[in-house]
Amino acid sequence: MKKITYAIITALTFAPALVFAKDGGHKTVPAVVYNGPVDTTSVSQLLADNSMFSEQNVIVDGYLVRQIKGDKFIFSDGNAEIQVELDDVVLTTPIDNKTKVRIFGEYEGGSTPEIEVDHIQIM
């Protein structure tokens, strides 16, 4: 009788965890893919405000022209260049310096202005 009681208590304890673990902890891709107009910023506009305390969310279009090291790259919009960090970004498609991309991220000014990339979209 004790074994049956323990089994029932164990099952009732773990049942809610199974209900809340729907996706097994996997990230899901947003269902909306929008291809309409987006307000972008130029790299020159960002570099004009390079104070240590300047932070803003930005969207820029251009090219990753070269890799500095690991997850750091130089990005160019055709007029100016800025360093970008692709820390947690997952790309499933290989890109090169001729692949146009749209970068969504956070600009941080300072001695080395940089965009920390949240998402990158191949154009």
Confidence (pTM):
0.67
Question: pLDDT, tens digit, for every residue of 25-84?
Answer: 555 555 666 667 778 888 888 888 777 777 888 999 999 999 998 889 999 998 999 999
What domains lie within the chain, and their CATH numbers?
Answer: 43-122 (2.40.50.200)
Mean pLDDT of the chain: 79
HEC sequence for the chain: CHHHHHHHHHHHHHHHHHHHCCCCCCCCCCCCCCCCCCCCCCHHHHHHCCCCCCEEEEEEEEEEEEEEECCEEEEECCCCEEEEECCCCCCCCCCCCCCEEEEEEEEECCCCCEEEEEEEEEC
Residue 50 and residue 111: Cα distance in Å, rounded? 8
Q: Could you tell me the two tokens for 78?
A: 């055709």
For residue 123, give Cα distances in angstroms to 47, 95, 120: 24, 11, 10
Residue 95 has pLDDT above 70, yes or no: yes
